[in-house]
Amino acid sequence: MLDKTRPGWWKHATVYQIYPKSFQDSTGSGTGDLRGIISRLDYLQQLGIDLIWLSPVFASPQVDNGYDISDYRAIDPMYGTLADMQELIAEGKKRGIGIMLDLVLNHSSDQHRWFLEAKTSRENPYHDYYVWRDGTPDQYPNEMKAAFGGPAWTWVPEVGQYYFHQFAPQQPDLNWENPALRRELYDMILWWMEQGVEGFRLDVIDQIAKEPDLGITGNGPKLHEFLRELSAETFQKGCLVTVGEAWGANLERAKLYSAPDGSELSMVFQFEHILLDQQPGKEKWDLAPLPFVSMKQCFARWQTGLHGQGWNSLFLNNHDLPRIVSRWGNDQEYREKSAKMLATMLHGMQGTPYIYQGEELGMTNIRLPIDQYRDLETLNLYEERIAAGYSQEEVMTSIYARSRDNARTPMQWEDAPSAGFTSGTPWLSLNPNYHQINAAAQVEDETSVFHYYRRLNALRKQYPVFVEGDFTLLEPDHPSIFCYLRRWQDQELMVVCNFGDQATDWELPASWKNAEILIENEPWSDRCQLHPWEARMLLRIRQESKQSETADENK
């Protein structure tokens, strides 16, 4: 178990993300809940994770599956009670697993008490908790669009003003310029810290310092000032881990966010690698093939750029992204191998790895008829693009590839009715491949994707080079090999992956011939070639330092 009182302990941690609606139902309601999660803690302990990032379980009308919070201190009855949450925290602690809550501080639900008050009159003390602009019902303050479609402004006749919302109209943006609002948020966070949570994920945190008159949402001028105050007033009062979602982060900004002095956050989720396989300047729905060489150079830039100056989060999946094995791997013929290769590539790097539920099984994307999708972003996109004249086939191709519901189909526990997720009717269709791809089968099978992830988690704890080592990209222009070196003191780690369906010639440098194989996704049969999706991690102890150590010992 990690010693979570040591500063920077989270550099040694592996995080597992749970999307509670789809993880485990304990009541037969068809949606997951907290008691369901408690019943699966042993599975997570076996996988060897240290933290659970729990997507929002707070009271919510569920317009955006909990990312629209109506009471930050209450658990939504759909998920259970505060007592269940306390039990989850306590049961997790017994197994060395901490809870990271998902804080949505950029906006609330339009059903939050603050907003219900705010929209009654301009004089109400809560009015200024939100962002308002004067106007007339037929003239928006400006042309800004909301992320889920439509204008970013909604008219409220009672006050004769528009309120600003970067997401759905039911998710009004909070006004961070107001110190009273900030204080309420800090007190709420301190209250959750008292309940024993070990960290927070901060939803769209780069959007809190907005300047809508200038058309600015992300990275507003006061962003880092706000973050430093937030951190000093809350997180720094405990030994917490924090990760901010920052679509607009570049390397320079990430150095501020994750500065080693802890003045802001532990790390951010940045999305440069994730945005590469879409047409430049267009939306995620406008697909493009993955530019492989740029992708590995992008990882290399972040690895070397933040080394010693910040900290990376390592992820390929989350509840907003399609399944990586369907996206960058091959979810048919090479599903297991490519899932393991992608894990090898990612978990060898410096940073804190995040595993999204089902990733450790190699779960895949789903294709549903449009009326079976539940995600509002997907449904809005469908309407918008059909109205704009796209063909049904074009729109469905984008949805199959990119819909957020790809990640949200229920967890595949076993080959039993509803995959053991629920005894009722699941809120979103299961992927029918649960008969073959499920946790029960993989836990029994030492060669499974599950055990591969378990071994990766254990290796990161065993060898300091994973956490401490620097990074050098080898073969930078090779069209299919992703190979890199990590070095720390006398430990040298080489990670080599063949990215694609074709075998390729590749020979291990002679000086590595006696290196130890830490993990591989197939036995190394051909020393002059890498097979499709073949991946391996090798460790060697540098001779020079070994000799000098022996010399030191002999003194």
Residues 6+ apart with CB under 8 A from 23: 32, 36, 37, 40, 357, 410, 411, 421
- Distances, alpha carbon 429 to alpha carbons 65, 229, 325, 421, in Å: 16, 43, 19, 11
Binding residue for ligand GLC (CB under 6 A) from 25, 33, 50, 64? 64
Smaller CB separation from ligand GLC, 246 or 449? 246
- Count Cα atoms within 13 angstroms, Cβ side, for 193: 19
Shortest separation between residue 204's beta carbon and ligand GLC, angstroms: 5
Dist CA 328 CA 298 (whole Å): 15
Give alpha helix (H) positions in 234-370: 251-257, 292-306, 324-327, 335-347
Shortest separation between residue 288's beta carbon and ligand GLC, angstroms: 22
> Is 272 an annotated catalytic residue?
no
User: Distance from CA of residue 147 to its chain's centroid?
Assistant: 19
Dist CA 312 CA 266 (whole Å): 9
Asked if residue 421 binds ligand GLC (CB under 6 A), the reply is no
Q: How many CB atoms lie within 10 A of CB 107?
A: 28
> Is 33 an annotated catalytic residue?
no
Catalytic residue, from 203, 336, 377, 405: name it. 203
Contact 336, 72 (CB under 8 A): no
Size of the site for ligand GLC (CB under 6 A): 9
Smaller CB separation from ligand GLC, 243 or 485? 243
Smaller CB separation from ligand GLC, 26 or 270? 270
Smaller CB separation from ligand GLC, 64 or 336? 64
Smaller CB separation from ligand GLC, 314 or 494? 314
Catalytic residue, from 245, 336, 375, 492: name it. 245
Smaller CB separation from ligand GLC, 86 or 250? 250
Smaller CB separation from ligand GLC, 33 or 206? 206
Give the x/- contact pattern for ligand GLC in 278-317, rule: CB under 6 A.
Answer: ----------------------------------------
Shortest separation between residue 218's beta carbon and ligand GLC, angstroms: 12
Dist CA 458 CA 277 (whole Å): 32
Shortest separation between residue 60's beta carbon and ligand GLC, angstroms: 11
Smaller CB separation from ligand GLC, 67 or 192? 67
Short-list 294, 284, 245, 247, CA closest to 268:
245
User: Which phi and psi (to 5°) does residue 512 adopt?
Assistant: -100, 5
Give the x/- contact pattern for ligand GLC in 149-168, rule: CB under 6 A.
Answer: ------------------x-
By Cβ distance, which residue is nearest to ligand GLC?
Answer: 67
Give the x/- contact pattern for ligand GLC in 188-227, rule: CB under 6 A.
Answer: ---------------xx-----------------------
Dist CA 132 CA 128 (whole Å): 8
Binding residue for ligand GLC (CB under 6 A) from 67, 269, 315, 413? 67
- Distances, alpha carbon 428 to alpha carbons 31, 368, 401, 407, 439, in Å: 9, 10, 17, 11, 19
| 464-489: b (≥16 Cβ within 10 Å) or e | ebbbbbebebeeeebebbbbbbbbbe
- Distances, alpha carbon 510 to alpha carbons 265, 337, 354, 517, 528, in Å: 43, 26, 34, 15, 12
Shortest separation between residue 258's beta carbon and ligand GLC, angstroms: 19
Shortest separation between residue 168's beta carbon and ligand GLC, angstroms: 8
List binders of ligand GLC among 310-369 (CB under 6 A): 319-320
Give the x/- contact pattern for ligand GLC in 234-273, rule: CB under 6 A.
Answer: -----------x----------------------------
Residue 463 token pair: 């060898």
Residue 217 token pair: 């949402």
Dist CA 15 CA 51 (whole Å): 5
DSSP category for residue 178? -
Shortest separation between residue 377's beta carbon and ligand GLC, angstroms: 7
Smaller CB separation from ligand GLC, 11 or 319? 319
Contacts within 8 Å (CB) and 24+ apart, 520-525:
521/336, 521/337, 521/340, 521/341, 521/344, 521/452, 522/337
Shortest separation between residue 85's beta carbon and ligand GLC, angstroms: 20
Binding residue for ligand GLC (CB under 6 A) from 104, 306, 428, 537? 104
Shortest separation between residue 104's beta carbon and ligand GLC, angstroms: 5
Q: What amino acid positions are annotated as catalytic residues?
A: 203, 245
Binding-site ranges for ligand GLC (CB under 6 A): 64, 67, 104, 167, 203-204, 245, 319-320
